């Protein structure tokens, strides 16, 4: 495992020991299993990210707390650094970011809300994730989970989250662009980014709508709207996301030299009874560009989770993805193969601590 990663863990434990006034929690999960998909060898993989994290609070008085979070993700099957499809990391650094998780510090007040700074969760991804029964993971992942601008965490960002009022809450963020590419490469490439999200929840009903302009992306953006309802263990969700990837960003990401429009719809179902959780989803994606990436994708997914305890669960997932062309499939297939049809099965174990 990376020595720098081990150093971070040691420093985190030391900090929790030295400063007894700060309430520090160590948490995480190990998730690994076996995946077989059409067009690729059987491999070990995960249903959710394996990770270890530290979070803490310090009471400053008058209802205000200092907060922090450090979270590192890794591949549970071999211990290597996790590297996902974080578009902003790739736009700013072709090798991706060394830290694959949240890393922020901030202040929280019961009446005024919370302000955090650093590598924070992307509002649009965080809020909209509730529409996918598979939570952006596994062979059953929603089309939005492999979105061309998908960036679960965003660095160099200030984020504000309001308190909940009458079921409503508001979040906003601003990201400083790094403009790491040579001047004149793309004159508008190094833009700042911003995001805004609104959530509402009352009883078993919830809804959210979000907008995100990604930093350093030639002002590429996405927006989404999702809603759901839960009643006696049964949940149904519905969502739509629209994305515009400008030509500069598409080129740097190695997708195409033309601008691409991406549209994704999802219908999700989930039923929880005792230790059993049943999941199903239908996803439809649409790509539109002047290049090779034109056409539709349909994905059908089924999943089952058995909770052996509050911390340990077993899971099994199956999915079928049908695309109009191999090029469209290369964007949506979770194994990245250029194929217009992929069937995937996955099973494994998850332990949280």
The string of pLDDT tens digits covering residues 308-343 is 999 999 999 999 999 999 999 999 999 989 999 999
Which DSSP letter does residue 286 get? E
Beta bridge partners of 346: 35, 317
CA quadruple 7, 13, 18, 22: dihedral positive or negative? Answer: positive
Supply angle C-alpha 41, 46, 49, rounded to 5: 140
Which DSSP letter does residue 81 get? B
The Cα–Cα gap between 287 and 341 comes to: 16
The pTM (predicted TM-score) of the whole model is 0.88
Query: Would you kindly state where each structural domain of the chain is located, as residue ranges?
Result: 3-352
The Cα–Cα gap between 280 and 65 comes to: 40
User: Is the separation of the CB atoms in 279 and 301 below 8 Å?
Assistant: yes
Q: What is the pLDDT of residue 76?
A: 86
Helix (H, G, I), strand (E, B) or coil at 236: strand
Beta bridge partners of 24: 56
Q: What is the pLDDT of residue 10?
A: 47
Helix (H, G, I), strand (E, B) or coil at 124: helix
Burial group, residue 14, by CB count within 10 angstroms (0-12, 13-18, 19+): exposed
> Which superfamily is assigned to 3-352 in CATH?
Porin (2.40.160.10)
The Cα–Cα gap between 150 and 146 comes to: 7
Helix (H, G, I), strand (E, B) or coil at 47: coil
> pLDDT digits over 244-264, tens only?
999 989 988 888 888 999 999
Maximum mean pLDDT: which of 80-84, 96-100, 186-190, 347-351: 347-351
Q: What is the pLDDT of residue 226?
A: 98
| Distance set, CA 238 to CA 36, 208, 298 (Å) | 28, 11, 15
The Cα–Cα gap between 163 and 174 comes to: 19
| Distance set, CA 325 to CA 111, 288, 294, 299 (Å) | 52, 13, 8, 14
Q: What is the pLDDT of residue 98?
A: 80
Is residue 185 scored above 80 in pLDDT?
no
The Cα–Cα gap between 259 and 261 comes to: 7
Closest CA to 105 of 145, 138, 57, 60: 57
Of 136-140, 194-198, 347-351, where does mean pLDDT reach its minimum? 136-140
Alpha carbon 40 to its chain's center: 24
């Amino acid at each position: 495992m990376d020595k720098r990663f081990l150093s971070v863990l040691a420093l985190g434990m030391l900090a929790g020991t030295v400063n007894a006034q700060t309430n520090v929690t160590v948490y995480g999960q190990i998730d690994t299993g076996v995946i077989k998909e059409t067009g690729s060898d059987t491999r070990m993989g995960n249903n959710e990210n394996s990770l270890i994290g530290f979070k803490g609070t310090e009471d400053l008085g008058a209802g205000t707390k200092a907060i922090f979070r450090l979270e590192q993700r890794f591949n549970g099957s071999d211990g290597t650094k996790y590297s996902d499809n974080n578009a902003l990391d790739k736009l700013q650094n072709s090798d991706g970011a060394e830290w694959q998780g949240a890393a922020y510090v901030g202040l929280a007040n019961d009446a005024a809300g919370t302000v955090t700074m650093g590598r924070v969760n992307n509002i649009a991804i965080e809020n909209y994730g509730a529409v996918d029964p598979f939570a952006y993971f596994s062979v059953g992942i929603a089309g939005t989970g492999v979105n061309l601008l998908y960036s679960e965490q965003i660095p160099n960002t200030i984020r504000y989250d309001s308190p909940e009022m009458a079921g409503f809450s508001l979040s906003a963020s601003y990201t400083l662009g790094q403009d790491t590419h040579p001047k004149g490469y793309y004159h508008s490439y190094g833009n700042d980014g911003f995001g805004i999200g609104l959530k509402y929840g009352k009883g078993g009903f919830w809804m959210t709508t979000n907008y995100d302009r990604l930093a350093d992306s030639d002002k590429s953006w996405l927006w989404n709207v999702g809603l759901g309802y839960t009643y006696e263990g049964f949940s149904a969700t519905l969502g739509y996301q629209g994305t515009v990837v400008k030509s500069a960003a598409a080129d740097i990401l190695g997708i195409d030299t033309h601008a691409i429009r991406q549209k994704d719809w999802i219908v999700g179902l989930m039923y929880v009874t005792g230790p059993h959780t049943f999941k199903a989803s239908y996803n439809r994606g649409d790509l539109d560009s002047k290049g090779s990436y034109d056409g539709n994708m349909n994905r059908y997914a089924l999943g089952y989770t058995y909770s052996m305890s509050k911390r340990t669960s077993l899971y099994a997932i199956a999915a079928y993805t049908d695309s109009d062309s191999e090029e469209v499939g290369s964007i949506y297939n979770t194994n990245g193969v250029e194929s217009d049809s992929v069937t995937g099965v996955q099973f494994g174990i998850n332990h949280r601590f």
